[in-house]
Amino acid sequence: MPVPAEIHAPLRSIPRYCPEQAFPPYRYVPGLQPHPVRDPGGHSYQAPPRLGRHAPWDVSAWRTLAAWLFGVDLFNAFFFWEAHESWEGLWAVQPRASAPARLLQGLIQFAAALLKIHLGSLPGAAALSRAGLDNLSASAAVSPRCLGLDLRATFTQFHHYFRPLNERTLSPLDASVPVLLLSGSSDA
């Protein structure tokens, strides 16, 4: 199967949560561009490491958590692989059953499912989206709001977006992809 064209984000007005960090020069899609970290032509080759374990962090400090905020910006701009990488270190230092860890794992799985949709992999997209929805649901059961996200609303939006996968149809990779909108409320 031929490698699909580059991912292009739809034009839509979305707030930036970490505007001081520039987006990478391209959206990494496996098989399409050089691997960002491992390939000498990659956009983050030999860059200071952002990967790996993050320092322990407090969920109530999400408004100042650059890796979280930039990951949201990346996701909303269709940099799905890069969003996953931004969140991975945050997820790694949280207790696995905690609401923040389940939320981050779910969003990481959504980003991977969206890449699978782009690559035309229905089984991969379906499995990852189901796992992501399960993790988001588990997080919402503990706390309706986490890291500035309304988890019930976010779950509903992604559940609706990924529904075509249940009918063995790829969801479109367009403006119908839900946006992660953070609330400024005092909730964690």
pLDDT digits (tens, 9 = 90+) for 12-59: 899 999 999 999 988 888 877 777 777 777 777 777 655 456 788 999
Residue 106 has pLDDT above 70, yes or no: yes
Whether residue 87 lies inside any domain: the answer is: yes
Q: What is the DSSP string of 33-92?
A: S--TTTSTTSTTTTPPP--SPPPP--GGGGGG-HHHHHHHHHHHTT-HHHHHHHHHHHHH
- Region 151-177: what's the mean pLDDT? 96
pLDDT at 5: 73
- Region 81-92: what's the mean pLDDT? 94
Would you give the distance in Å from CA 62 to the centre of its chain?
16
pLDDT at 175: 95
Whether residue 183 lies inside any domain: the answer is: no
| 113-146: pLDDT as tens digits | 999 999 999 999 999 999 999 999 999 999 999 9
Residue 184 has pLDDT above 70, yes or no: no
d(CA 158, CA 129): 8
pLDDT at 51: 46
pLDDT at 146: 96
* Residue 143 belongs to domain spanning: 59-166
Taking the C-alpha atoms of 52, 58, 60 and 61 in order, what is their torsion angle to the nearest 10 degrees?
-60
Residue 61 · residue 93 · CB < 8 Å: no
Whether residue 107 lies inside any domain: the answer is: yes
pLDDT at 50: 52
Whether residue 29 lies inside any domain: the answer is: no
pLDDT at 32: 77
The total number of structural domains in the chain stands at 1
Whether residue 172 lies inside any domain: the answer is: no
Residue 138 · residue 152 · CB < 8 Å: no
For position 88, which CATH number holds? 1.10.3450.10
pLDDT class of 72 with cuts at 50, 70, 90: very high
Whether residue 52 lies inside any domain: the answer is: no
d(CA 136, CA 78): 20
Whether residue 118 lies inside any domain: the answer is: yes
d(CA 32, CA 80): 14
Residue 3 has pLDDT above 70, yes or no: no
Supply the pTM of this predicted model.
0.90
Whether residue 15 lies inside any domain: the answer is: no
pLDDT at 60: 93
